[in-house]
A and B are shown apart, each in its own frame.
Chain A
Amino acid sequence: MESLSLLLDGFASVLTPMNLLYAAIGVLLGTFVGVLPGIGPAMAVALLLPVTYGLDPVAAFIMFAGIYYGGMYGGSTTAILLNTPGESASVMTALEGNLMARRGRAAQALATAAVGSFIAGTIGTMLVVFFAPALASVAVEIGAPSYFALMVLAMVMVTSVLGHSWLRGFIALFLGLTIGLVGLDLNTGQQRLSFDQPLLADRIDIVVVAVGIFALGEALWVAAHLRRAPLHVVPVGRPWMSGGDVRRSWGPWLRGTAYGFPFGAIPAGGAEIPTFLSYLTEKKLAARKGQDEFGKGAIEGVAGPEAANNASAAGTFVPLLALGLPVTATSAVMLAALQGYGIEPGPSLMTDQPELVWALLASLLIGNALLLVLNLPLAPLWAKLLRIPRPQLYAGILFFAALGAYAANMQAFDLFLLLLLGLLGLLMRRFGLPVLPLILGVILGPLMEFRLREAMAISGGEVSGLWSEPLAIVVYVIVALAVVAPLVLRAVRPAPAAVAAELEHEHEHEHSADKEEVER
């Protein structure tokens, strides 16, 4: 129970009126940006990062925690109201959520998503409170060879297992690794890939990379294919849930949390698999009870995946804080943010700066609670944001992207880099290259090189030093399994993504059938 009392100390340092105000501003800004079409949580966090510059670490955390949860909730709002998930984690939410919205139950869908996010986020963060210190105390013993192996695992999982095409995953990863090379070499102080440009010697700021690839790349890609016909936005009333809605939701909330957290906590996570599993489970359970509304807008199909999504996001804090390993795009941006606040995530963090860790975890819990309080009543207002005319919307995104990149270092050169990276982001969208492996490559590449050199220096240049620890061997076995297993599984049954596409297809068919009936 030591963790609990430390967490209470964290609350004590965080809970001041001024900090609560920062948290509220964070939640509002995060939701505002997250609701905007085309912006997912990772992009919202990257775009709003500069707002927290200049605050002291604790105030920055709490504002950042609000932005983070607001961005996540904003993403599911767009998924439910527009049926266009901004990122793969909300694909499952969009399926039933949009059907509910079309049946006039948008408010209930948003409410079950908000409450589910709150419950999953709270349980998930509490689990982090208990797991991260334990993992960190184990992680102190982990040597450079095992670290190197863990990073190989994270890269292989994200690149080949979660994506659609391993070739494109690896192309994105290697582009990221190349960007990560730019700048001074750690040991010898020589410039690599810098074209004798002193401004590049400092390495490329990860915020510039994230904003360029996510925000600018997206805006340019939208510019190339702007939908001229207006989208159909479902009007939203004040969110409330009837007793029946709550009774049907609490099971999916808890089951979704149980699916989500473990997948987030292992360094191979992501929210795709747990949201998919949660959706399937709820569908099966509903069918068994004989009240199967799936395909017509079942509240269970929103509650479960939304909880799974948020629990998995909370779970990613375990490897992030204890090992310094980000496994999703959002946690990659988060790592950059924490480093900006003077925190170096990793095993020694828990012993070196415990008060900051507990303040961060307390901030997450507060941000999560504020989200629920503010966003349930504000939902109709957020829905109006979806009607901003597209030229002004994307002009605004470009404006804030440029502001974020420029404010980081006050260099016009960073804006030039932003433009180049935006063009790269455009290319990636045109050629179907996934974004996440690139971001991971930029962040993990330099860390990996550092660990490799450390491991080899310890072993005196013997390559066998790389598998001198039992954990390293175990991880390499998992890597091998992770590469082989999907090949076997795919031969036996279709991949989740394919099933999701099929479900979507079925729904579309049902819709067109409905419409035909109505027209008659």
Chain B
Amino acid sequence: MSTVTTSPGAPTTPRRDKAQLGLAALLAVVGAYTFYDATTLRVGFGDPVGPRLFPYVIGAGTFLLAVLLVVATLRGDVPEAEAGEDIDLSQPADWRTVLTLVGVLAFTVLTVSFLGWAVSGAILFAGSAWALGSRTVVRDVLVGAVLSVTSWYFFHEVLGVALSPGILDGVL
């Protein structure tokens, strides 16, 4: 089994990380679907391995790892969450900020073709900064606009790559 038991200095009260069972469930679904998807493939000629072997092995392996993770979780295996420069693990996770950020990104995905990179990129920057706690909205919008318009021109003029102009087509 896994050798990690607990990280030094981490809060030691919850001995089991139940959320890991969710991860295991996700792995089980991914593994099972990969396996099922492989059964729908036709086997080619003159190819002793065929297109199915790899997905079979990978799907089965992922499923097996899901089972092992359940066992490890129930035996008290706790993950070592990644530390970093701006990360304060002593605070509980702030999922609201994460959800807002995901919302801002989803908005960019949906609008980039229509609004164009110059507009969508600026909204992405200002929206993310706001989600992360910045309240200097005007400055953020300005910085975002400068960044997105500059990058549009940089890609267009220097690199010869035309990012989507969107509603500003003809203006830029």
Contact = CB atoms under 8 A, between A and B. Distances in A.
Contacts of A445: 54, 58
A399 to B, nearest CB: 5
Interface in A393-440: 394-396, 398-399, 402-403, 406-407, 410, 412, 415-416, 418-419, 422-423, 426-427, 429-433
Interface string B65-104: 1001100100001011111111111010111011001100
B86 A398 contact: no
Given A38-B85, A54-B160, A406-B117, A395 B79 contact: no
B106 A419 contact: yes
Nearest to B135: A391
A27 interface: no
B105 A178 contact: no
A486 to B, nearest CB: 10
A453 interface: yes
B102 A218 contact: no
B125 A430 contact: no
B125 A395 contact: yes
Interface string A483-504: 0000000100000000001000
A105 to B, nearest CB: 21
Contacts of B81: 429-432
A222 interface: yes
Contacts of B23: 427, 431
A378 interface: no
Contacts of A225: 87-89, 91, 93-94
B143 A392 contact: yes
Q: Which one of A86, A429, A431 has the greatest number of beta carbons of chain B within 10 Å?
A: A431
Contact of A53 (B61, B89, B93, B159): B159
A231 interface: yes
Contacts of B82: 221, 429, 432
Contacts of A430: 19, 79, 81, 93
Nearest to A37: B85
Given A168-B79, A181-B55, A410-B163, A192 B41 contact: yes
B91 A391 contact: no
A261 interface: no
Contacts of B44: 187-188
B47 A457 contact: yes
Interface in A138-193: 164-168, 170-171, 174-175, 177-178, 181, 185, 187-188, 190, 192-193
B2 interface: yes
A12 interface: no
Contacts of A78: 85
Contacts of A412: 109-110, 112-113
A226 interface: yes
Interface of B: 1-4, 8, 19-20, 23, 26-27, 30-31, 33-34, 37-38, 41-44, 46-51, 53-55, 58-59, 61-62, 65, 68-69, 72, 77, 79-89, 91, 93-95, 97-98, 101-102, 105-106, 108-110, 112-113, 117, 121, 124-134, 140, 143-144, 147-148, 151, 155, 158-164
Given A53-B159, A185-B51, 5 more contacts: A164-B4, A223-B98, A415-B112, A416-B109, A426-B98
